[in-house]
């Protein structure tokens, strides 16, 4: 009997079930927000072995190439081969400790007169805390820090594997992919991933879900309620 595997765990393979069905049994948390209809494009998985044992790509998967599939659309059609799949948003190991040094706290977003200001512009009322989220968007790994902007302290560090790798392993390949027929798919992939991680961050750190985030760098001011949009 052939098997389906993920991260060292396995199940017996049977026909007509989706990768998502097996992920449920294996207690693997695959991201999705469309009820598994294929519309959100969040549940991209890498099929490491056994691509030939799955059905042909559906129209919802037309933006994918190589060995990437949507977990909700990839269905077992042949039980003669083993299948192994992996998520695109695994948590990699990152450097979490460094030599401390004194720095002057000078955030772009500040508190004054019961309001929150971006430079001289009032952008929100003060809600008891002033947090910042610093995101390092790397080709392979995305790392983020939750920072107390008034104290300068890092309260939480998290990371996940960049889910854009279905568009290529490096920046040039991803630029080429985005210039093709599926412009915007890479952008949506990282936005969905950040939304997911920020909601999880709120849960882990007990930051209220209604907390109003103001994200700012040289290019973007992003506003959301524990989610990211731009």
Kindly report the CATH number assigned to the domain that includes residue 185.
3.30.420.480
9-12 and 3-6 strand pairing: antiparallel
169 in a structural domain: yes
Specify whether 55 is located in the same domain as 126.
no
Q: Indicate if 158 and 211 belong to the same structural domain.
A: yes
Name the helix (H) or strand (E) containing 193. Answer: helix 185-205
Choose one of 21, 55, 87: the last residue of a domain: 87
Per-residue pLDDT reduced to its tens digit, 158-185: 888 888 888 988 889 899 999 999 899 9
pLDDT tens for residues 81-101?
A: 999 999 886 655 565 565 666
- Containing structural domain, residue 14: 3-87
Q: Does the residue 40 lie in any domain?
A: yes
Q: What is the pLDDT of residue 200?
A: 83
Structure-block tokens of residue 204:
């882990």
The number of folded domains in the chain is 2
Of 87, 118, 142, the residue at which a domain comes to its end is 87
125 and 212 part of one domain: yes
Say if residue 44 is in the same domain as residue 114: no
The pLDDT of 70-75, averaged and rounded, is: 96
Residue 101 lies in a domain: no
Q: Which two tokens stand for residue 62?
A: 């037309």
């Amino acid at each position: 009997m052939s098997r389906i595997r993920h991260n060292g765990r396995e199940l017996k393979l049977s026909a007509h079930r989706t990768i998502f069905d097996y992920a449920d049994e294996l207690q693997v948390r695959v991201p999705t927000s469309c009820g598994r209809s294929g519309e959100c494009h969040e549940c991209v998985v890498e099929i490491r072995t056994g691509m030939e044992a799955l059905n042909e790509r559906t129209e919802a998967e037309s933006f994918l190439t190589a060995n990437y599939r949507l977990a909700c659309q990839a269905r077992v059609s042949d039980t003669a081969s083993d299948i192994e799949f992996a998520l695109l948003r695994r948590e990699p190991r990152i450097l979490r400790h460094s030599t401390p040094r004194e720095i002057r706290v000078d955030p772009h977003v500040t508190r004054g007169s019961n309001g929150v200001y971006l430079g001289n512009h009032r952008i929100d009322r003060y809600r008891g805390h002033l947090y910042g989220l610093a995101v390092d968007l790397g080709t392979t790994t995305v790392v983020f820090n939750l920072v107390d902007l008034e104290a300068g302290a890092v309260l939480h560090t998290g990371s996940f594997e960049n889910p854009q790798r279905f568009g290529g392993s490096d920046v040039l390949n991803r630029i080429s992919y985005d210039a093709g027929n599926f412009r915007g798919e890479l952008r949506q992939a990282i936005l969905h991933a950040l939304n997911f991680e920020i909601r999880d961050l709120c849960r882990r750190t007990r930051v209220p879900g209604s907390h109003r985030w103001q994200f700012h760098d040289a290019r973007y001011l992003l506003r959301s309620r524990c989610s990211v949009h731009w």
